[in-house]
Amino acid sequence: MRRLTHLVFQPASRLVRLMLGEKRLVVDPHAAEDAKAHLPVFVDLDGTRCEGLWAIVDQIEGAYPELPLVPEEPAERGQALRWLDWTIAILGDQVTRKIVFEKANPRFTGAPTRSTPDMNVIRSGREALRELLPLLGKAVEAQGNLAGRACTIADLALAAHLSALDYFGEMPWEANAAVREWYTRMKSRPSFRSLLADRVPGQPPVSHYAELDF
């Protein structure tokens, strides 16, 4: 059995879970006991052990090419990788770390332990999110998905971040109809089921989190 050790609210872990779902690969998931480890960790059927997002992406795409998540066509591939990098570097740093990593228990994110959430940091993340939403809305409205008509690793990465934000009720869905419509389609994909089932002690999700139509 394949094995995945992950953190519930770590975007890299959520992305890997979505990728495995899209590839229709059966995996035995385990929440990490040590949030300081290099996570996520994926062990394939042949015993290949991959630590960290990029090693796992390479393994999954290379060993299971039947349902590619990184486009082969150069232009779409470039767009997908560009949006993947943007999501991790820009959205991750300016929004996810400032909201999710502040509000979630550190043992579910791998963030440094702190006494209480810093509301100034959270407010900064909320402002950044509202500023970034029009850019995302324009992209998905024009093409259906970030890099074209097909769902790619870029869409899964973005959905991984937005789903974590949505768990805590931090997505202003009313601010951008195009992003809301795109996310509705994403959360309706079978690969999303495990994420929508996430629950952590003492921090239940907002009421609409698992509803496919909000």
The domain that contains 89 carries what CATH number? 1.20.1050.10
- Do residues 58 and 84 share a domain? no
**Residues 202, 168 contacting (CB under 8 angstroms):** no
Confidence of residue 213 (pLDDT cuts 50, 70, 90): confident
State which residues form the domain around 44. Answer: 2-63
The model's pLDDT over 101-126, given as tens digits with 9 standing for 90+, comes to 999 999 899 888 777 899 999 999 99
pTM (predicted TM-score): 0.96
Indicate the SS3 state at residue 62. Answer: helix
- Do residues 120 and 158 share a domain? yes
Residue 213 forms part of a structural domain? no
Given 34, 63, 92, which residue is the final one in a domain? 63
CATH number at residue 40: 3.40.30.10
User: What is the CA 71 to chain-centroid distance, rounded?
Assistant: 19
Residue 206 forms part of a structural domain? no
Strands laid side by side in the 2-6 sheet: 27-31, 2-6, 41-43, 49-51
Residue that the structure tokens 């790619």 belong to: 152
- Do residues 50 and 90 share a domain? no
**Residues 133, 175 contacting (CB under 8 angstroms):** yes
